[in-house]
Structure 1
Amino acid sequence: MPLKKCLVTGATGYLGRHVMSRLLNEGYDVLAVGRTAAPQVSVRNGLTYFELDLQDTDAVSEFLAAHKPGHLVHLAWEATPGKFWHSPDNFNWVSASAHLLKNFVEAGGERAMLAGSCAEYKWGAAPLHEERSPRHPKTYYSASKCAFHDMAQVIAKDISVVWGRVFFPYGPDEAAAKLVSHIYSTIKNDEIPMFQIPDRAIDLIHVADVATAFSRVLASDLEGAVNIGSGVAMLPDEIALTCASALGKQDLIPALQKRASEVTASVSVLGDIQRLQSVLNDADIRSFEQGLKSYLESR
């Protein structure tokens, strides 16, 4: 039986590296594309890497016509830390992604999993549900994700499509400016971290678990939006307290405990993950304590 051929965009990015590795472990024949950080073409254990600019529409059309992948995982987007929320390049990604998906369908593609974001939702106190929770994009990034989501429903109406709304991934190779890495580096230096929004709880999910979720959902018959999160929301001070305990910074714990006891979440960016859990095993999403152990072991 031939291997399933899956095109992965953004393959050299933070999520892409993990998703690509997971799909290879699951037996997919992976066509990975990215703009940088790899030779033009290399073959290794079921992986073929291609240097491809997804905003070059002619090159994308030629690539899909030549390779005809049956599956697509589309992760590529503007993701520069501190820039992506309000970058006009988000608009270019709407157009490039629509073109990619259109050509994927025309080349005989059967199933696509497209990366969305929890930022599409209106954040409040209640868990965010794929169908019941309203969308309320407030940035160029979230508005562009919503726009592509709606376009994808039309472009790919004749094939199987799933939209993975990713919450807050963290992991050992994340950017230094990310929340967990900021907390880690501050506490390691025996300092108490400060937060711009101390009363916003967020749903953290280890990046390797995001990859597991993508592979399991891709292999399932789920369609439509699926939240990709842990189903647990933590305040920044709770994250810091867990990190201080793991690092053995006993002198910082009393101050962090006091501060944590004084803060109540006014906003909880928490995903309802019942749809995701329907295709996962119990151990597929680790607790933050477990994920933090993996994070610290890599440092």
Structure 2
Amino acid sequence: MKRALVTGASGFIGRALVPVLRDRGFEVHGVARAPQPAMAGVTWHMADLLSGAGRADVLSASRPTHLVHLAWEARPGRYREDPVNRLWADASIDLLASAKACGTKRMLGIGSCLEYGPQAGLCEESSPCRPTTLYGQAKLGAAEAYIAASAAWGRVFFPFGPHEPEQRLVPSLIRRLSAGEAFDCSHGAQLRDFVYVDDLAHMIAAVLDSDLTGAVNLASGTPRSLRSVIEHFADRLDARPLVRFGAIAATGVDAEPIIAAEIGRLRSVTAGVPVIGFEAGADRDLAWWVDRLAAKA
């Protein structure tokens, strides 16, 4: 029996990943800090993964053959420079060592495109990493430990979809335009690699279920301008006049001309994996948020 322990299973990416792993024949164990509603095929464990005792307890209770480590500080507006990133890096490295010691055979840590720092073109796994945020630096520190241990490390680019934190770009855009309010943003020429969260879940599962080790980009491989993404949603809502490009100055990471991925390594393990894609994913995402907003109203 393949038994997967998923940290951060109740989060944005984790809740999309759990059913995909279940469909691949995994017995799934999820970790969360607070009690979770019942989910078919998932055994929940409450633990504080920043605590050594919490990490030891959940590994002892679940005895995983496979580990997907998603948990980290990810709150919009806070995560990039929060000092807790250093604690998460230390905890992630200890979790790796502890899982290996208790017999876990396959380990996949989830990192970020912000590990790369400024690049002139597409990010390749061999590209030099020069992160400019504490978040990117801490993730890179954990990545180096996972890669040295012959584990896999997935660098996520720009996921979107249902259950995304409301303060992020797409949900905040939908909320404001649906309310008939103006949406202020930067010039929008920046190129980014957006990936629908269900597609991302299948990518993560495929990497976990493979023998691939080292860093691997988890992305669509298709750069899109922020302007084109914003206009796509605005057009679906018939609200393009409400978007005010150039009203906000882009700074720091947000000003980088391109953050997008080369995905040759990913493609080596995802043949036959279903892909929803940006357009269909955007339509599903919009429908989900519109229903959610209607329910709140």
Which TM-score band (shorter chain)? 0.7 to 0.9
| Matched residue, 1:116 | 111
Question: What is the CA–CA distance in structure 2 between the aligned matches of 1:202 and 1:15, rounded to whole Å?
Answer: 18
Seen in structure 2, the aligned counterparts of structure 1 residues 235 and 189 have a Cα distance that, compared at 3 Å, is farther
Deviations 1:149-201 (A, max 9, x none): 112234x34xxx11100000111211221111222233334455322463321
* TM norm structure 1: 0.86
Contact 1:28–1:46, Cα closer than 8 Å, also in 2: no
1:28 paired residue among 26, 29, 39: 26
1:220 paired residue among 195, 202, 210: 210
Equivalent position SS for 1:252: helix
Once the two structures are TM-superposed, the CA of residue 87 in structure 1 deviates from its matched residue by 0.3
Contact 1:119–1:142, Cα closer than 8 Å, also in 2: yes
Question: What is the CA–CA distance in structure 2 between the aligned matches of 1:84 and 1:144, rounded to whole Å?
Answer: 11
Does 2:138 match 1:144? yes
Does 2:241 match 1:252? yes
Deviations 1:53-110 (A, max 9, x none): 1122123224324532110000000111110001000111111111111110000111
Letter in 2 for 1:19: L
1:72-221 pair list within 5 angstroms:
72-131=67-126, 133-154=127-148, 156-157=149-150, 161-190=151-180, 193-196=183-186, 198-221=188-211
Question: What is the CA–CA distance in structure 2 between the aligned matches of 1:197 and 1:87, rounded to whole Å?
Answer: 27
Once the two structures are TM-superposed, the CA of residue 266 in structure 1 deviates from its matched residue by 6.7
Contact 2:146–2:214, Cα closer than 8 Å, also in 1: no
Deviations 1:122-159 (A, max 9, x none): 3334111111x1111111110000111112234x34xx
Question: What is the CA–CA distance in structure 1 between the aligned matches of 2:147 and 2:234, rounded to whole Å?
Answer: 45
Equivalent position SS for 2:50: coil
Once the two structures are TM-superposed, the CA of residue 209 in structure 1 deviates from its matched residue by 1.0
Question: What is the CA–CA distance in structure 1 between the aligned matches of 2:274 and 2:18, rounded to whole Å?
Answer: 17
Equivalent position SS for 1:14: coil
Contact 1:12–1:37, Cα closer than 8 Å, also in 2: no
| Matched residue, 1:262 | none
Once the two structures are TM-superposed, the CA of residue 222 in structure 1 deviates from its matched residue by 1.3
Seen in structure 2, the aligned counterparts of structure 1 residues 125 and 183 have a Cα distance that, compared at 3 Å, is farther
Question: What is the CA–CA distance in structure 1 between the aligned matches of 2:96 and 2:224, rounded to whole Å?
Answer: 35
Deviations 1:209-235 (A, max 9, x none): 111111111111211111111111222
Seen in structure 2, the aligned counterparts of structure 1 residues 284 and 57 have a Cα distance that, compared at 3 Å, is same
| Matched residue, 2:2 | 4
Seen in structure 2, the aligned counterparts of structure 1 residues 282 and 183 have a Cα distance that, compared at 3 Å, is farther
2:268 paired residue among 275, 278, 283: 278
Seen in structure 2, the aligned counterparts of structure 1 residues 283 and 218 have a Cα distance that, compared at 3 Å, is closer
Structure 2: 5+ residue runs without aligned partners?
A: 247-254, 291-297
Deviations 1:9-67 (A, max 9, x none): 0111111111112111221001111111427xx6x643210101112212322432453
| Matched residue, 1:231 | 221
Question: What is the CA–CA distance in structure 2 between the aligned matches of 1:222 and 1:248, rounded to whole Å?
Answer: 44
Contact 1:23–1:30, Cα closer than 8 Å, also in 2: yes
Question: What is the CA–CA distance in structure 2 between the aligned matches of 1:58 and 1:266, rounded to whole Å?
Answer: 40
Q: CA RMSD in A?
A: 2.3
* TM norm structure 2: 0.87
Seen in structure 2, the aligned counterparts of structure 1 residues 266 and 33 have a Cα distance that, compared at 3 Å, is closer
